Structure 1
Amino acid sequence: MQGSKVLRQAVQGKWALVTGASAGIGLALAEQLAAAGVNLVLTARRSDRLEALAARLRSENGIEVRNITADLAEPSAPQQLLAATEESGLAIDILINNAGFGYSGEFAKGDAAWQRQMVDVNCAAVVHLTGLFLPEMIKRRRGYVMIVASTASYQPVAYMSTYAATKAFDRFLAEALAHEVAEHGVKVSALCPGPTESEFNQVAGLREMRGRSSQSAEEVARLGLEGLVEGRSWVIPYSAGKAMVFMQRFVPRRLVSGAAARMFRPKSR
């Protein structure tokens, strides 16, 4: 794999922290950064996957890779990641807030603790991590922050209600921060993928939908990172998603949310 020229020119030799790096879009983001010559701090819950990934990326790209096993559902995890990087003397110039998960089904029938944990990982950990690493980027007058949101952030999604709400939070946070820190030389972007080849559907309990193709995680990662270094405050990495979001401007919200409800309504209901 070769990193894109625009990405390599912007970030080669820097250090990046990638959360949720063991699978899916997070893994693809780590691969794309490694191919661009970026040194990596990888974190996820599954240490065996991290170790295998780190060994491969070192061998293929000649970069440095550090692993930190952490569960971002734990409130102490972001501070743990900051302490580990500071103790190693690493200046994190690229923060990739990718860790997250979803849930599909009726809200009232869902596990309340699981829904709360989703908010903790998808929102609280993102706020905490970004708040810890962003001030030093501002001081250095350089840096990049990506927050992985979703095209689900553009409308309420019944039967994925908490997930879509967390991603709306993530997108709004990224877009607002992008304006706050632009004058300090720091770029912030929300990556808003749609259906992607990953473990997301399996974890979320989301059924496959006929006629709805999935984009490769590699393409999502590449387009997201290119948009980040180019200074785009949000990136929708596929044409159908861009068209959907554009058309929603001209349709009453109740019709949009109704269509989403019909799309994601469980078959058994």
Structure 2
Amino acid sequence: MEEWRGKWALVTGASSGIGWALAEQLAFHGANLVLTGRRADRLAQLADDVSSRHKVQAQTFAADLGRSQAPAEIFRFTEQKRIPITLLINNAGFGSYGEFRKIEAPRLLNMVQVNVASVVHLTHLFLPPMVERRSGYIMIVASTAAFQPVPYISTYAATKGFDLLFAEGIAEEVRRYGVRVCALCPGSTVSEFHDVAGQPLHMAGPQEPNEKVARVGLQALAEGKPRVISGTRNWLSVEAQRLAPRRLVTRVAARMFMPQQ
């Protein structure tokens, strides 16, 4: 990761959770940062912290990726500041817990916008300059939920399935241009995700520290791996699901995640 020293990394969803930890790790390795997220105060706090502790530059740009215009606005900001982005970290995302029919349509569509459309748009904007330079890194934060249907977080799991396949596909496309793409697939982490999703914490299972997830993801990205599952327990769970009948996996997940009446 020494090659990242002095380069610029853009981190979405940097104001909390895995995004915050990824920004910290990148700064530790000497990367300058463009931090985006909805909470300007949290972004400013993070920027001040990493710039003082790690002696890197840090810019912030508050943006809501639930707005379709946000990716273009972020790209325009980096262009105006003449900041060449070497690392794009597509981390922003959220979920909603409950029966699909009972979740309001605007929230579901907003989830698709943030988890899928903004990832595609940002990648489409920042990838061409990387190809021209024959150097670049793109991380897309997916989830272990990407590997199977998950009733009661059905839309979230489907968006993460898209993220995983999208990352693996373009990783092969751009490998010959010196650009590395990796899907990071964490399980449950210590973050605000469950509060935002409305999911009871006891259903989340063992939680990994965000710092560990960030280290695993960035190491895999540096090594050119198209996909990495964070945590041995999560890896074993995904492998076990591959061996079991799909319908059985879905029914077991439904029992685990079914809302309590």
Give TM class, smaller chain. Answer: over 0.9
Equivalent residue letter for 2:171: A
Residue deviations 1:126-149 (CA, integer Å, cap 9, x gap): 000000000110000000000000
- TM score, norm. by length of structure 1: 0.95
Q: Which of 28, 33, 54 is the aligned partner of 2:26? A: 33
Structure 2 residue aligned with 1:51: 44
Distance 1:87 1:210 in 2: 45
Q: Structure 1 residue 120 and structure 2 residue 88: aligned?
A: no
CA contact (8 A) 2:203 2:256 kept: no
Distance 1:212 1:98 in 2: 21
Distance 1:211 1:126 in 2: 25
- 1:249, distance to aligned residue in structure 2 (A): 2.1
Equivalent residue letter for 1:103: S
Residue deviations 1:145-198 (CA, integer Å, cap 9, x gap): 000000000000000000000000000000001100000000000000001000
Distance 2:47 2:204 in 1: 36
- 1:10, distance to aligned residue in structure 2 (A): 3.0
Equivalent position SS for 1:17: strand
CA RMSD of aligned residues (A): 1.0
Structure 2 residue aligned with 1:139: 132
Distance 2:78 2:245 in 1: 47
Distance 1:139 1:127 in 2: 19
Q: How does 1:74-89 map onto structure 2 within 5 Å?
A: 74-89=67-82
Q: Structure 1 residue 96 and structure 2 residue 111: aligned?
A: no
Structure 2 residue aligned with 1:4: none
Structure 2 residue aligned with 1:161: 154
Structure 2 residue aligned with 1:244: 237
CA contact (8 A) 2:97 2:152 kept: yes
Aligned in 2, Cα 1:211/1:39: closer, same or farther, shift over 3 Å? closer
Distance 1:223 1:73 in 2: 28
Q: Structure 1 residue 217 and structure 2 residue 206: aligned?
A: no
Q: Structure 1 residue 20 and structure 2 residue 13: aligned?
A: yes
Structure 2 residue aligned with 1:105: 98
Query: How many residues align structurally?
Result: 261
Q: Structure 1 residue 65 and structure 2 residue 58: aligned?
A: yes
Distance 1:143 1:164 in 2: 28
- 1:210, distance to aligned residue in structure 2 (A): 6.7
Ranges of 4+ aligned residues in structure 1 off by more than 3 Å:
none
Aligned in 2, Cα 1:213/1:92: closer, same or farther, shift over 3 Å? same
Aligned in 2, Cα 1:163/1:28: closer, same or farther, shift over 3 Å? same
CA contact (8 A) 1:10 1:229 kept: no
Equivalent residue letter for 2:118: A
Residue deviations 1:191-239 (CA, integer Å, cap 9, x gap): 0000100000010011122792100000000110000010110110100
Structure 1 residue aligned with 2:199: 206
Equivalent position SS for 2:238: helix
Structure 2 residue aligned with 1:257: 250
Distance 1:263 1:10 in 2: 43
CA contact (8 A) 1:42 1:65 kept: yes
| Percent sequence identity over aligned pairs | 53
Give the gaps of 5 or more residues in structure 1.
1-6
Q: Which of 182, 190, 210 is the aligned partner of 2:183? A: 190
CA contact (8 A) 1:191 1:234 kept: yes
- TM score, norm. by length of structure 2: 0.98
